[in-house]
Chains A and B, each alone.
Chain A
Amino acid sequence: MLKNTISGLDKILFDDIPKGSVILVTGAEGTLKSGLVFSMMANYISANDEHGLYVTLEQNIESHLRNMNSLGIREERGLHIFDYRDMRLEWMDSELDLIKTTEEVIDSYKEKYDNLTLFALDSLNALYSISDQENMRSKIYNFFSHLRDEELTSFLIMESAQSRISGQFSSSHQVEHFLADGTIELGMIEGSGGVKRYIQILKMRATKHAMEKHQIIISDKGLNILGPIY
C-alpha cells in the first residue's frame, strides 16, 4: 500500500490511494517534491513485486540519484529511471515531440514489465516547456487519459511559484488540477520555531484524508511526516 511507504503518511492518508489514480504533487523549488515521490515509489517497489518508472526531465539520472542519496533515499532495482539526456543531445528539440515520446516510453516499459504499476513524471513544467505549445489543452487531456488507460498510479510533479492564494490555483494550471484525482502540496512556512516543511493533501478522490498541513522532516532513515502544524 502506498500509504505505508513513508513513515507518518498514515497520519494524513486514512485510506490507500486508489490504484490508477493520477496525482499532482505541487510546490515551489526545494520543497521535497522529487524526494517524496521517489521515496514513495522506491519503498513501494521494494515491498511489492512490481515495477515503477520515474521519468526525469529536470535532472539526469546521476544528479537525480545524488539528490535522492543526500535525502537518505536509496535506488531500487524494479524502479526504472528514464532521463532524456541522450535523446536531447542527439536530436534537436524540434525533432522530438516530448509528450508523445513520453507516452511511448511508458508503453515501452509496460511492454517489457507487465507488472509496471507506478509512474512518475518530474516534471510537467519541464515537459511543457520543451513541447510545441499548440493545442496544449487537448495534449494534456490526452496525456492524462493515456495514464489512465495504462492503469498506472501516476505522480505528476508540478513546480509552482508560491502563488496559491486562499485555495485558488494559479489559473495557468487549472486544467491539471481539474483532471487529476488528487493533489498533494508541499511547501515551507515560517513559524515561531523557524521555517518548517509541510505536506498537505488538498484533494484525493475516493480517499479519506486529513486536510491540515503536517510537518515533514528529513531524518537519517528518509522522509518522516509528523503532526499538524499550527
Chain B
Amino acid sequence: MNTSIQDIADLSEFQEDNCKKFVDRIIKTNREVFMMSSLIEKQMCGYDLIKEIFSKCDVFLSQGTVYPVLYTLEGEGLLHAEYSKGDMRSKNYSLTLKGRKIAEKDIDDFSRALEQVSLLLKR
C-alpha cells in the first residue's frame, strides 16, 4: 500500500492534536499549580492570569474554573488580593509567604509526577 505525503501529514497533525488534547486536560485539571506558578513571577488579576496562561500554554482556562480557585486559595491564605490603586476594576492577586512555599513545592511535586508517569509508560 502506498502511503502518500498527505497521509503522513494527516497522521502527524493527528498526533499533534492528540498530544495537545492531553496537555489541555493535564493543565485544566491541575490549573491550581499553573495559576500559582504564573503568580510567582508577578501579581495579576483573573483576567491577566487567563491571558497569560493562554499565551504561554495555548490553553484557555475558562472564567468559571479560574475565579473559584482564586477565591478558595485566598480563603486558605495562599493568595493575597488587593484592588489596584486608582483602578477598582481589577483585583490583583499575589502569593503570600505561605502561598509561595506551597506553590514551589507543588511545582516540584507536579514536575516529578509527570516524569514518573512518562517513565511508567516507557517500560
Contacts and interface: CB of A to CB of B under 8 A. Distances in A.
Contacts of B91: 86
Interface of A: 80, 82, 86-87, 89-91, 96, 100-105, 107-109, 112
Nearest to B76: A112
B65 A87 contact: no
A62 to B, nearest CB: 13
A87 B63 contact: yes
Given A86-B67, A100-B64, A103-B64, 16 more contacts: A80-B72, A80-B75, A82-B67, A82-B68, A86-B91, A87-B46, A89-B90, A90-B45, A90-B46, A90-B89, A101-B63, A104-B68, A107-B64, A107-B65, A108-B69, A109-B72
A171 to B, nearest CB: 31
Contact of B47 (A82, A90, A100, A109): A90
Interface of B: 45-47, 62-65, 67-69, 71-72, 75, 88-91
Contacts of A108: 64-65, 68-69
A46 to B, nearest CB: 17
Contacts of A90: 45-47, 89-90
In order of increasing CB-CB distance, the 10 nearest A-B pairs are A104-B64, A101-B64, A108-B68, A90-B47, A89-B89, A105-B64, A104-B65, A86-B91, A105-B68, A87-B63
Nearest to A113: B72
Contacts of B71: 80, 82
Contacts of A82: 67-68, 71
12 contacts: A80-B71, A82-B71, A86-B67, A89-B90, A90-B45, A101-B62, A101-B63, A102-B64, A105-B64, A105-B67, A105-B68, A108-B64
Nearest to A98: B64
A168 to B, nearest CB: 35
Specify which of A102, A108, A112 lies most central, judged by the most chain B CB atoms within 10 Å of its CB: A108
Contacts of A101: 62-64
A80 B73 CA distance: 13
Contacts of B89: 89-90
A89 B48 CA distance: 13
Nearest to B71: A82
Contacts of B45: 86, 90
